Structure 1
Amino acid sequence: QTPLRETSLLDAEVHVEASGNPAATLPVIERHLRPGARCLVVSRTDLAALIDSNPWVSHAARLIGARGHCGGIYPYLLNLFLAGRLDPTALVGATLSLEEVPAALARGATATSAGKTIVRVSDH
């Protein structure tokens, strides 16, 4: 079963496929492409995802692959953090509340902080 609700995709300018199951989600995204839409794929899986090029061409949409991981380097990084040899807070450029996210997305490329952005969903 597709792990997302199709109604949430209507009129989206940007889709981010990070479900870990692009074989299931990309066909749904393809059904809801709008002209000039972009889809950023960060999921990695050992299952091939078939892509129908027709909706992408018809809507002049873009499919963008991005490396969202470090190729198995996480255990090494965690050991550096635990040993105090690397400060993970130096990797964080901004921390936002969930309410601040829409304004941050609207700023887009004009944002000035470099590094990862942390979104705090709850203060609990």
Structure 2
Amino acid sequence: MLTLDGIISDRGSKYAVSGAPCRSGEEAKALIAMLCKSKKFAKATHNSWGLICDEGPIKNDDGESGAGMIILRMLEREGLRDHLVVVTRWYGGKHLGGDRFRHVQACVGVYFEAVREG
């Protein structure tokens, strides 16, 4: 699993993005469990994710309402199927309002660039 940490820091909240090839919801859950074996990611406030596979679009906001849908939309636009993308947030104590959605988008964009570059 490719993990890019320290992507964004805003008002105490910190963001990372991870991803890997993935073909099903069950495989996605196993990959998330693997990610959370790292104490740092297990302690994250949110591990929101999206995946488009043969089962259809699958998402999990993990308490960050709307984040999974943003990830799905970006996967769709990118034409990236069978690939799990996870945006992790460690809450910093201050509400970010709509900025949190921009941060999710920015993290996914950084991940796409890293995948393109190989």
Task: Give your verdict on TM over 0.5.
Answer: no
What TM-score do the two structures reach when normalised by structure 2? 0.30
Q: Which has the higher contact order (CA 8 A, sep 6+)?
A: 2
